[in-house]
Structure 1
Amino acid sequence: MSKIPLIVSTEWLAERQEDPKLRLLDATTFLKQPAEGGYYDVWSGKEAYEKGHIPGAVFADLLGELSDPDAAFKFTVPSRERFVNKISELGVGDDTYVVVYDQGYAVAGAPVIASDWASRLAWQLRYEGFDNVAVLDGGFPKWHEEGRPVTTESGSYPTATFSGERRPELLATKEDVKNALNDESVLLLNSLSEADFKGESDTYARSGHIPGSVNVFFGELSDMKTKELYDEEKLRKKFEDVGALDPSKKVITYCGSGIAATWNALVLNKLGQDNVAMYDGSMTEWAADPSLPLDKVEK
């Protein structure tokens, strides 16, 4: 089976909806930061899926089933056994290809165009050794806006056989990031907003950014009107300006909890930067350890 693109259009998906090898996964999850500030609330998108989704799609529960239930932080990578068991039940196997989408994103109540819940699941699939996976550009909002079919009927696929080998090089740990502080061959890329990067927010236990890191906000890579990623030239400039496309560098992306960082990692991969890892604990883990340094941008 030929490899599919990293990111596909709604038209591309519509043309393949009847393909028996397609596995369409709805990874919708919701996040909202309280109006009074502080750590955000997250909840499953299962109810939204039941109210309407792309025909054929099955719901993939990132929060409840595809994360480690015993970890200190939400959305921590689960054991391989847990992930493989669940993803196999959803029908993803060696002779299939996957398109993942989600139903949208909001940061502190403001809409942001980025399918980062979908990119999180796509990243997990690649981490476990499954390459033939794409993210739907514009996600469910674009699909719905175009008047394409929507259903409340739950999808299902036969249980599959999932093999492949885990790729540890795609995951960065706290120790990896600590080592990167003094390694000029590694670039730390903060995927949060400029305010978060500068240390002007109070979302995490401590504010600021990991020393030496650069900032590309994941919510500024797509056009609010078209809901699609900007053209390659515009995307390339954003990442070139911070040195993230330097072929001699390894890039470690991070955010709050390892979600938005997968969106930036995906776009970097699309632009040809393949040496990218994602820091799963991100600011939630880093800021919680008072022994670890954080920088702020002075006003």
Structure 2
Amino acid sequence: MTDSAALISTEDLARRLGAPALRIFDCTTYLKPGPDGRYIAESGRANYDNGHVPGAAYLDLAADLSDKKSPLRFTLPPLEELTRAFAAKGIGHGTFVVLYSHASPVWATRIWWMLRTIGFDDAVILDGGLDKWRAENRPLSDTPSVYPPATLTLRARPEIFVGKEEVKAAIGRPDTLTINALSQEQHKGSGGVTYGRPGRIAGSSCVPAASLFGPDKTLKPIAALRTAFEGIGAAPDKRLLVYCGGGIAATLDAFVLTAILGHKNVSVYDNSMQEWSNDESLPMETG
């Protein structure tokens, strides 16, 4: 397991089950290709109901933690509203939060990054998620859990999310690197799911989120993670802007850069390609 205070192993979590301040959340959402070639978002609630880490509650990103006024999927809500939503789910001062998801860690890291933007830092990612927990034949529960509401104060870090104007202004700047967390074929515009125009934000590099973890869903060794980002020039003194299709996969790149590799100036483009590729005024590249 990669050594990071922001990760928890299945062994460690198993030992902590039942601790009074522990708050465990299944964050799973599924993206399935639709008939138009774009993704359809499906709640992970049914999978949670079929078996989850004992004591875990479910966080529904689309239904409860996204801006309902936005025409785009998964948009970050106003931070005051987000803080109230997390508090209502039982996340607050004095709690220790463990986040996990099934099939890919990106849903857990999305919630981790959202907690970080409101200033809550007592959250970790279960390395390997539900996949590793199940593979090790650890106990599962089909009884839903709900935590009592908590007290949570907003300590905003709005700068760790950016919009299209900040990304556009960064194009060509030598002190900033824009990173695509989608697949290489999506980056090149040669295949995969598109969100509008195929290709990438002009001038951006690519480290696919899916390349950062192995078949057991645990993160790759730190040397491999460091090599992946050093290979595109992600130097410690650069500002790093990460994007994907809808601001989800980008958070895994951002988590690795921040929590594992120690970069200090990392931001996620929240609406990512679902916004950028549908705005003809914004520059894109293919090939």
Say whether the fold is shared (TM-score over 0.5). Answer: yes
- Select which of 249, 252, 261 maps to 2:238: 249
State how many pairs are aligned: 282
**Partners of 2:176 and 2:36 in 1: how far apart?**
32
- Note if contact 1:37-1:203 (Cα within 8 Å) is conserved in structure 2: no
Aligned residue for 1:161, secondary structure, equals: coil
Q: 1:227 aligns with which of 217, 242, 252?
A: 217
**Partners in 1 of 2:68 and 2:217 — Cα distance?**
33
In 2: Cα distance, 1:47 partner to 1:40 partner: 19
Query: Share of identical aligned residues, percent?
Result: 42
Tell me which moved more, 198-207 or 283-292: 198-207
Aligned to 1:181: 171
Q: What amino acid is aligned across from residue 43 of structure 1 in structure 2?
A: E
- CA offset at residue 7 of structure 1? 1.6
Q: Which residue of 1 aligns with 2:19?
A: 19
User: How far did residue 82 of structure 1 move?
Assistant: 2.7
- How do 1:74-113 residues align onto structure 2 when only pairs under 5 Å count? 74-104=73-103
How big is the shift at 1:64? 0.6
Quick one: which amino acid aligns to residue 81 of structure 1?
E
Moved over 3 A (4+): none
Are the equivalent residues in 2 in contact too, given 1:54–1:149 (CA < 8 A)? yes
Give, in angstroms, the shift of residue 22 of structure 1: 1.0
* Farther-moved stretch of structure 1 (50-59 vs 199-208): 199-208
Matched letter for residue 219 of structure 1? A
Match of 1:42 in 2: 41
Deviations 1:190-233 (A, max 9, x none): 00001000011351210111111110111011121x33111111
Residues 133-282 of structure 1: matches in 2 within 5 Å? 133-201=123-191, 203-224=194-215, 226-244=216-234, 246-269=235-258, 270-282=260-272
Q: Mind listing any 5+ residue stretches in structure 2 that lack a counterpart?
A: none
Tell me how far apart the structure 1 counterparts of residues 99 and 240 of structure 2 sit (CA, whole Å).
24
Maintained 8 Å contact 1:43/1:63:
no
Secondary structure of the corresponding residue to residue 200 of structure 1: coil
Consecutive unaligned residues of structure 1, counting only runs of 5 or more, are 105-113
- Alpha-carbon distance between aligned partners in 1 of 2:109 and 2:220, rounded to the nearest angstrom: 17
Q: Is 2:120 the counterpart of 1:121? A: no
Could you tell me which residue of structure 2 aligns to residue 7 of structure 1? 7
The amino acid that maps onto 1:5 is A
Which amino acid in 1 is paired with 2:213?
S
Mapped to 2, the partners of 1:232 and 1:187 lie a distance apart of: 21
2:276 corresponds to which residue? Answer: 286
State the match for 2:63 in structure 1.
64
Alpha-carbon shift at residue 40 of structure 1 (Å) = 0.6
Q: Deviations over 1:153-208 (max 9, x none)?
A: 11122210011311011011101001101321110000000100001135121011
Instruction: Tell whether the 8 Å contact from 2:32 to 2:42 is kept in structure 1 after alignment.
Output: no
TM-score (norm 1): 0.91
Instruction: Give the AA of the match of 2:204.
Output: S
Could you tell which deviates more after superposition, 139-148 or 227-236?
Answer: 227-236
Q: CA deviation at 1:37?
A: 5.5
Structure 2 residue identity aligned to 1:288: N
SS at match of 2:256: helix
Partner in structure 2 of residue 108 of structure 1: none
Deviation of the 1:5 alpha carbon: 1.6
Q: Is the 8 A contact 2:74 2:247 kept in 1?
A: yes
Q: Which digits, 9 at most, give the CA deviation of each residue in 1:242-269, with x for residues without a partner? A: 111x121010000000000000100111
SS of residue matched to 2:64: coil
- The 8 Å contact of residues 8 and 136 in structure 1, kept in 2 or not, is answered as yes
